Amino acid sequence: MADVIQLLPDSVANQIAAGEVVQRPASVVKELMENAIDAGATKVQVILKNAGKGFIQVIDDGKGMSPRDSRMAFERHATSKISSAQDLFNIRTMGFRGEALASIASVAEVELRTRREEDELGTYLFVADSELKNQESISCSRGTNMLVKNLFYTIPARRKFLKSDNTELRNITTEFLRVALATPEVTFTLANNGNEIFNLPASGLRQRIVNAFGKNINSKLLSVNCETGIITINGFICVPQHARKTYGEQYFFVNNRFMKHNFFHKALTEAYSGLISADMIPSYFLYFTVDPSIIDVNIHPTKTEIKFQDESAIFQIILACVKEALGKFNVIPTIDFDTEDKVDFVAPDVPVIPKVPKVSYNPNYNPFNYSTSISKEDSDFEQGERSHGNSGGNSSQRNHDYHRKEQVPANWDALFAGLEDKPEEVQTVIPEMAEKQEDHQGVISFVQMKGRYIVTPVHSGLMFIDQKRAHERILFERYKETLSHQPAGGQKSLFPETLELSAEDFMLVKDILDDLMLLGFELGEFGKNCYAIYSTPPDLSTSRGKEVLLNLIEHYKNTEGSIRDKMRERIALSLAKAAAMDYNTVLDRQEMSDLFDNLFTCQHPNYTADGKTIIHILKNEDVTQWFK
């Protein structure tokens, strides 16, 4: 049998390598931007057509290339950045593998225009299919202008896997920001289809962060500076109040290269522990300077993980300097740990029984039985209660439409439906258990506990309701309903607030604008990366529009789904989460009662849409057991 092994042609070898280096337009943007930085550019323009699927152009004013180097640049393992294995331990450039251009040229068409300062004429190259198709001398400005067209035209299967323009663009802005934040001293611009997305002039780090993420972040930044024998750490962390539930503003850089580092991230979460809840993620922009010989960046071409010698020592240093920054700015002392675990029962809101008019409360009222449901307007009792002990403070932020609705579920089944995805080992409250218990005067008591739970006696024991989750569930079902039907008429704002966003968030809002409109938000573009909020959903006061939208964006980020319906559900959930009352919102008796009733008109009162328990009953038997 004849020999069968042969060397792959360059074009095939390059395509295989490209599979690792070039996964999507964002990878090309990253590689070209890094090359521009490595070439000493002071200004880098990124210009896209159709989120890079049309073309990606990166123009820099760096040192440019000679005619020979321009050709060499497209060869595999061709690099000017290292020349021996020893150099691998002293890397100070972004790139060094000499793979990027070769890979890109194997899966796209590339036009290069470049000129060095000392040359009168520059070079034009056209490379496709890993082959040099054309080379000319041209006059052009100093620096390099790379145009990458028809990405993956040689591999239709890969091209088909590219996501929507919006998704690809979001991936690009992620990479763009990583490079732009690594090098604030360089000017960057990013534009897609003629629209400028970022314009980041050369500046200091704080200004770069503000330009990238919006003015709001400025007052949230706490500076971190610390120098030790093995590492120098500079940059900013954000105040605990700025922490979010989704990832987004977590940036580590090592010698000006972006990196992910789960272990060091833990140092951050540890430093913030006690200041933010466990599901919140602090925002940080931390820059490490280390001797390149103590890090190993040579793991994988696209991986952003970097290994360090002595990671546990560095962990301790990060922990100490972040804590110091938090302490220095007096963040820690202002948090009152004492109230955290204290059981502070709000004194029971003893119902005041008005003498005249007489209470017309229906003692037989059963929220599950619609034939006996009453409306707010019918209840004299309500009038008497309203004047009693209101909370002030947050009251304008609450829903005041907790009136009993006519659409109480006609049968018990609704309560059981959709519970398949409930977490294991939790109690499911069945309707009989939830039947309210009146005292001898025919009044049902509600007690608010720890600003979190509504406690009320029910037939089977003592029911605890998580107030925020209950409200979330009520709003979720309402929003979902709205989204599947007709647009909700919003409340017009007399003085429209403006919502200034980062370019990324601005695009995200654009994506979901139609659905926001259905919910009753009316937003108009208002200058760069800014919306004016003309109206808010019916049950959301206009003064909360901005805050709720910001929360909604945070919650919605990184949880993108593909199916439209699911997306609506997600928006409904995000909005419900954002608009639901906060813990520690003091509720009066009537509000608790309304919340209770509204919860039990929901299709699924037991759990929030994301599966968290809303209700728990302390059973009569269990209580009896204590006193045996």
Q: Which of residues 256-295 bind Mg ion (CB under 5 A)?
A: none
CB of 43 to ligand ADP, least distance (A): 12
Measured CA to CA, the distance from residue 282 to residue 323 in angstroms comes to 12
Q: Which is nearer to Mg ion, 82 or 530 (CB)?
A: 82
Measured CA to CA, the distance from residue 560 to residue 562 in angstroms comes to 7
Of the candidate spans 89-97, 179-187, 297-305, 548-556, the one that interacts with Mg ion by CB under 5 A turns out to be 89-97
Using CB atoms, what's the residue nearest to ligand ADP? 95
Select the binding partner of residue 73 from Mg ion, ligand ADP, none (C-beta < 5 to 8 A, by kind).
ligand ADP
CB of 122 to ligand ADP, least distance (A): 12
Q: Which is nearer to Mg ion, 99 or 588 (CB)?
A: 99
Select the binding partner of residue 168 from Mg ion, ligand ADP, none (C-beta < 5 to 8 A, by kind).
none
Instruction: Specify the 3-state DSSP secondary structure of 314.
Output: helix
Work out whether 100 is an interface residue with Mg ion (CB under 5 A). Answer: yes
Select the binding partner of residue 65 from Mg ion, ligand ADP, none (C-beta < 5 to 8 A, by kind).
ligand ADP
Q: State how far the alpha carbon of 572 is from the alpha carbons of 473, 595, 615, in Å.
A: 10, 19, 21
CB of 92 to ligand ADP, least distance (A): 13
Q: Which residue has the tokens 């319906």?
A: 565
Position 626: which residue type?
W
Q: Which is nearer to Mg ion, 35 or 529 (CB)?
A: 35
CB of 291 to Mg ion, least distance (A): 23
DSSP line for 509-540: HHHTHHHHHHHT-EEEE-STTEEEEEEE-TTS
Contacts of 539 (CB under 8 A, 6+ apart): 399, 401, 475, 478, 579
Select the binding partner of residue 144 from Mg ion, ligand ADP, none (C-beta < 5 to 8 A, by kind).
ligand ADP
Select the binding partner of residue 292 from Mg ion, ligand ADP, none (C-beta < 5 to 8 A, by kind).
none
Instruction: Specify the 3-state DSSP secondary structure of 68.
Output: helix
Measured CA to CA, the distance from residue 504 to residue 378 in angstroms comes to 50
CB of 128 to Mg ion, least distance (A): 19
Nearest to 103 by CA among 80, 69, 78, 81: 78
Q: Which is nearer to Mg ion, 35 or 283 (CB)?
A: 35
Work out whether 545 is an interface residue with Mg ion (CB under 5 A). Answer: no
Q: Which is nearer to Mg ion, 35 or 502 (CB)?
A: 35
Q: Which is nearer to ligand ADP, 91 or 575 (CB)?
A: 91
Q: Which is nearer to Mg ion, 15 or 144 (CB)?
A: 144
Nearest to 26 by CA among 192, 257, 153: 192
CB of 186 to ligand ADP, least distance (A): 13
Using CB atoms, what's the residue nearest to Mg ion? 95
CB of 73 to ligand ADP, least distance (A): 3
Instruction: Specify the 3-state DSSP secondary structure of 103.
Output: helix
DSSP line for 435-485: -B---TTS----EEETTTEEEEEETTEEEEEEHHHHHHHHHHHHHHHHHHS
Three-point CA angle 337, 341, 345, nearest 5° = 120
CB of 338 to ligand ADP, least distance (A): 56
Q: Which is nearer to Mg ion, 58 or 212 (CB)?
A: 58
For Mg ion (CB under 5 A), the number of binding residues is 3
Q: State how far the alpha carbon of 222 is from the alpha carbons of 17, 330, 492, in Å.
A: 42, 11, 37
CB of 193 to Mg ion, least distance (A): 26
What one-character DSSP code corresponds to residue 305?
B
Q: Which of residues 31-70 bind Mg ion (CB under 5 A)?
A: 35
Select the binding partner of residue 96 from ligand ADP, Mg ion, none (C-beta < 5 to 8 A, by kind).
ligand ADP
In sequence order, the β-bridge partners of residue 138 are: 122
HSE, side-chain direction, 13 A CA sphere, residue 283: 21
Select the binding partner of residue 39 from Mg ion, ligand ADP, none (C-beta < 5 to 8 A, by kind).
ligand ADP
Q: Which is nearer to Mg ion, 52 or 95 (CB)?
A: 95
Q: Which is nearer to Mg ion, 148 or 483 (CB)?
A: 148
| Token pair listed for 270 | 């540890």
Element (H, E) at 494: strand 491-500
Select the binding partner of residue 36 from Mg ion, ligand ADP, none (C-beta < 5 to 8 A, by kind).
ligand ADP
Q: Which is nearer to ligand ADP, 131 or 378 (CB)?
A: 131
Measured CA to CA, the distance from residue 442 to residue 36 in angstroms comes to 77
Q: Which is nearer to ligand ADP, 54 or 98 (CB)?
A: 98
Work out whether 574 is an interface residue with Mg ion (CB under 5 A). Answer: no
CB of 322 to ligand ADP, least distance (A): 33
Task: Report phi then psi at 290, rounded to 5.
Answer: -135, 165
CB of 92 to Mg ion, least distance (A): 13
Give CA 583 to chain center in angstroms.
Answer: 22
| Token pair listed for 515 | 């659905």
CB of 64 to Mg ion, least distance (A): 15
Element (H, E) at 210: helix 205-213
Contacts of 467 (CB under 8 A, 6+ apart): 448, 452, 453, 454, 581, 583, 585, 587, 592, 595
Q: State how far the alpha carbon of 147 is from the alpha carbons of 111, 114, 144, 264, 500, in Å.
A: 5, 11, 10, 37, 32
Binding site for ligand ADP (CB under 6 A): 31, 35-36, 39, 60, 62-65, 73, 78-81, 95-102, 144
Instruction: Specify the 3-state DSSP secondary structure of 27.
Output: helix
Q: Which is nearer to Mg ion, 35 or 448 (CB)?
A: 35
CB of 184 to ligand ADP, least distance (A): 19
Tell me which of 25, 64, 67, 95 binds Mg ion, using CB under 5 A. 95
Q: Which is nearer to ligand ADP, 88 or 191 (CB)?
A: 88
Contacts of 531 (CB under 8 A, 6+ apart): 498, 499, 501, 506, 509, 523, 524, 525
Cis peptide before 240 (omega within 30 of 0): no
CB of 154 to ligand ADP, least distance (A): 18
Select the binding partner of residue 80 from Mg ion, ligand ADP, none (C-beta < 5 to 8 A, by kind).
ligand ADP
In sequence order, the β-bridge partners of residue 136 are: 124
For residues 111-122, one letter each, b for 16 or more C-beta atoms within 10 angstroms of the residue's C-beta and e for the rest, the string is: bbbbbbeeeeeb
- The residues of the shown chain that bind Mg ion, judged by CB under 5 A, are 35, 95, 100
